[in-house]
C-alpha cells in the first residue's frame, strides 16, 4: 500500500502534463482486471462490470498536481516561471524542482537577504521576483536543457515519519488515486467506472469530459483535502483534523452533496464503526463540481483524506485516515443505493 503511494506521489504530473503518473496508473489498474482506456482528454477510465449491471457508479480522483511552467529564459540563464494551479507563493523560496521530460534539477531563488533593502525584508516576496536556477550561465546554455513551455514540479520524496504519518508532494490527489486502485480490486452489484482525471487543479476539466462520456447514475469523488489543526488556527477553522478519519462533505464552492448519499455515507461509517468527520469549511472545490452538472445531472458526494500543508512539496497525511477511507468506501459501495 505504501509502495503504491510512494510511486504515485513521486511521479511528476503537473496539470496538463500527467503522462508519467498516468503510465503508473495504467499499469496498476490493468492488474485489477478492469477494462482500462484513456480518453482524448487524457483521463484514465477503468471499468468493471457488476453482478447485476443495473446501475453505473462513477468513482473519481484526479491525477494532476500543482506546479509550474517555464515562461521565459533570461540572458543570464535564469528561468522565469508561472504557477499552474493554486500555490501559496510564500512557500516557494529555496524549494527544489524538476523541469521538463528529463527532470532537470533546479532551485527557486531570489535576491539574498543581505542584499535586500529594509522595506523588502518586511514584505512578502512576489512570484515575479523569483526565478529558477539550473546552474546555467547564459540563455544559450540553459536552452540546451530547458525550453519555455516546459513544466516543473516540486522535487520531493515520500517519507514515512512520526506516529503513522507520511510526507510527500501531491497527496492531493494521489492519495485518492491509490484508493481508487484498491476499490477496483472488488466486484460490486453495479457497473463501476473508476476515473483518474486530469486538469482538476485549473478548472475540473477532465472530470467534465469523463462524466459526460460515462453517464453515471451516481458518483463519489475521493480527494485529499485541507487540514488546519495546527497552532494559532481557531478550532472552528480547522476544516478537518488529522487522525479523525475520512472527511464527508455536505457542501463546498463547487458542489452540494446529494442528501440521500450524504446520509448513506454517514450511516455506513457508523454501522461499521469507521471513524469519520464532517468537513467544517466550505472553501475550495473539486471534480464533483463538474460531475454533478453533467448531462441531466448526477447525484454526487465527496469523501476526503485530511492533508496538512496541501499544495506544497511537504504535504502530510495520517495513514490511518487513508486506510479508513478505503474501509468506508468499500462498505459504502457494497451497500449503496443509487438515488
Catalytic residue among 182, 200, 208, 223: 200
Q: How far apart are the first and last CA of the chain?
A: 32
Question: What's the CA gap between 307 and 287, in Å, rounded?
Answer: 17
Question: What's the CA gap between 321 and 148, in Å, rounded?
Answer: 40
Question: What's the CA gap between 112 and 219, in Å, rounded?
Answer: 50
Q: DSSP labels for 159-174?
A: EEETTTEEEES-HHHH
Q: DSSP labels for 219-286?
A: EEEEEEEE---STTS-GGG--S-TTS--EEESB-SS-B--HHHHHHHHHHHHHTT---EE--------
Return the C-alpha cell found at 191.
457497473
What angle do helix axes 171-183 and 19-30 make, rounded to 10 degrees? 20
- Annotation marks residue 280 as catalytic: no
Active site residues: 200
Amino acid at each position: 500500500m505504501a509502495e503504491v503511494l510512494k510511486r504515485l506521489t513521486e511521479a511528476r504530473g503537473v496539470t496538463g502534463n500527467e503522462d508519467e503518473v498516468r503510465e503508473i496508473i495504467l499499469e496498476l489498474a490493468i492488474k485489477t482486471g478492469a477494462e482500462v482506456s484513456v480518453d482524448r482528454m487524457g483521463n484514465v477510465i477503468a471499468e468493471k462490470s457488476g453482478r447485476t449491471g443495473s446501475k453505473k457508479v462513477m468513482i473519481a480522483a484526479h491525477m494532476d498536481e500543482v506546479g509550474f511552467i517555464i515562461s521565459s529564459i533570461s540572458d543570464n540563464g535564469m528561468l522565469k516561471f508561472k504557477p499552474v494551479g493554486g500555490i501559496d507563493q510564500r512557500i516557494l523560496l529555496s524549494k527544489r524542482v524538476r523541469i521538463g521530460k528529463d527532470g532537470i534539477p533546479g532551485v527557486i531563488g531570489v535576491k539574498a537577504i543581505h542584499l535586500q533593502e529594509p522595506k523588502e525584508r518586511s514584505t512578502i516576496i512576489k512570484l515575479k521576483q523569483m526565478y529558477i536556477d539550473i546552474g546555467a550561465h547564459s540563455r544559450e546554455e540553459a536552452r540546451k536543457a530547458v525550453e519555455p513551455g516546459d513544466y516543473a514540479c516540486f522535487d520531493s520524496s515520500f517519507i514515512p515519519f512520526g506516529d503513522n504519518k507520511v510526507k510527500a508532494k501531491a497527496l492531493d490527489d494521489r492519495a485518492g488515486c491509490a484508493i481508487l486502485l484498491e476499490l477496483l480490486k472488488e466486484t460490486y452489484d453495479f457497473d463501476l467506472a473508476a476515473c483518474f482525471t486530469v486538469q482538476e487543479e485549473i478548472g475540473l476539466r477532465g472530470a467534465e469530459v469523463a462524466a459526460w462520456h460515462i453517464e453515471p447514475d451516481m458518483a463519489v469523488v475521493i480527494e485529499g483535502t485541507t487540514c488546519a489543526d495546527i497552532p494559532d488556527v481557531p478550532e472552528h477553522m480547522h476544516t478537518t483534523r488529522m487522525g479523525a478519519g475520512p472527511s464527508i462533505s455536505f457542501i463546498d464552492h463547487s458542489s452540494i452533496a446529494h442528501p440521500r448519499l450524504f446520509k448513506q455515507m454517514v450511516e455506513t461509517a457508523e454501522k461499521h464503526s469507521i471513524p469519520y468527520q464532517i468537513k467544517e469549511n466550505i472553501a475550495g472545490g473539486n471534480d464533483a463540481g463538474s460531475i454533478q452538472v453533467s448531462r441531466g445531472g448526477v447525484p454526487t458526494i465527496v469523501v476526503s483524506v485530511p492533508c496538512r500543508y496541501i499544495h506544497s512539496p511537504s504535504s502530510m497525511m495520517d495513514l490511518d485516515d487513508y486506510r479508513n477511507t478505503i474501509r468506508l468506501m468499500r462498505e459504502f459501495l457494497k451497500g449503496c443505493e443509487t438515488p
